[in-house]
Amino acid sequence: MKAVIPAAGLGVRFLPLTKDQPKEMLPVVHKPTIQYVVEEAVAAGIDDILIITGRGKRSIEDHFDRSIELECALDQNGRRKELAEVMRIANMATIHYVRQKVQRGLGDAVLLARQHIGDEPFAVMLGDTINLSAVPVVRQLMDVRKEMGGSVIAVEPVPRDKVRDYGMIKGARISDRLYEIEDLVEKPSPEDAPSDLGITGTYVLSPRIFDCLERTPPGRGGEVQLTDALRLLSKEERVYGLQFEGRRYDIGDKLGWLKTTMELGLDDPELGPPLREHLRALISQKT
């Protein structure tokens, strides 16, 4: 299976931080956000990845490319560990790039993958969402698809005050964590949300989604929404929602990013203990 990582958004919620820097390259402890996403795909056995980029996103390509000068310098200085790490990043997967020339939304970005994907099911993994789990979340979705067919999307309960930031689903529960989706709404008001289950940004889709995307008019924000195309798809084929096992870290806005950085920093064996001590002292000082 191939994966598509949409990473063409303007990062408006992060301005001015993202004026000249892709939000997918924001650091989370040791690595940029998008590296976590690529690593999840690779851990799930996916080695062909298409990243949808746009103007101003060159640093994503550079990050996954060889860096000959850096490699030479690390080699000459005997920095073997660092050298192995930069080589690993450059050789992790076969990565292809397509540019979205005009910002027409997530649905339009996914449609740009049609030629590369062809007539096969494929994964979509948002470039600003980190999943940490024993079994990669995308693998959990692939396993459901293998058993049930159709398309499978990751969902989780969303607090009421966050509903406006998510695509929300209505589903009939068919087992402990699995729902058959009956309806989807992109970023509704809390009163209009069909349930408390939100779309978290990892999808395994049937190629029929491309036809649905072509028939999807611009929706919320004047953009072609993947959620709207999924609603069309759910009328033609089965679409499941899986409440996955694992933790999802939302890098979609500044607070989410700061919280993730803190939490994963605290979990780091080397940085965790001194960071914990510093935060404790800081909090008692500031309160």
- Residues of the shown chain interacting with ligand G1P in the complex, contacts defined by CB under 6 A: 106, 126, 129, 166-167, 186, 198-201, 225-227, 252
CA distance 93 to 44: 12
Q: Please, are residues 250 and 258 in contact by the beta-carbon 8 Å criterion?
A: no
Pick the closer one to ligand G1P by CB: 45 or 221: 221
Cis peptide before 16 (omega within 30 of 0): yes
196 burial via Cβ count (<10 Å: 0-12, 13-18, 19+): middle
* Nearer to ligand G1P among residue 89 and residue 248 (C-beta): 248
> Which residue lies nearer to ligand G1P by CB, 28 or 89?
28
How far apart, in whole angstroms, are the C-alpha atoms of residue 156 and residue 142? 17
Q: Minimum CB separation from ligand G1P for residue 202, in Å? A: 9
Say how many C-beta atoms besides its own lie within 10 A of residue 95's C-beta: 20
Residue 10 or 42: the one with the smaller Cβ distance to ligand G1P is 10
Q: Which is nearer to ligand G1P, 88 or 99 (CB)?
A: 99
Strand segments (E) across 164-226: 167-175, 178-186, 197-205
What minimum distance in Å lies between the beta carbon of 193 and ligand G1P?
12
Residues near 76 by beta carbon (within 8 Å), at least 6 away in sequence: none
**Burial group, residue 143, by CB count within 10 angstroms (0-12, 13-18, 19+):** middle
Least separation in angstroms between CB 271 and ligand G1P: 27
Give percent helix, percent strand, percent coil of the chain, each to the nearest 5.
45, 25, 30
Nearest residue to the partner ligand G1P, using Cβ: 167
Name which of 99 and 276 has its Cβ closer to ligand G1P: 99
Other CB atoms within 10 A of residue 104 CB? 16
Q: Judged by CB, which is closer to ligand G1P: 223, or 237?
A: 223
Question: To the nearest whole angstrom, how small is the minimum distance from the Cβ of residue 186 to ligand G1P?
Answer: 6
CB of 264 vs ligand G1P, minimal distance in Å: 18
Least separation in angstroms between CB 184 and ligand G1P = 8
Question: Looking at this protein, which amino acid is placed at residue 248?
Answer: R
Minimum CB distance to ligand G1P, residue 78 (Å): 42
DSSP label at 217? P
As measured in angstroms, the least distance from the Cβ of 126 to ligand G1P is 6
Radius of gyration of the chain (CA): 20
Nearer to ligand G1P, 47 or 223 (CB): 223
- Alpha-carbon distance of 60 to 10, in angstroms, equals 14
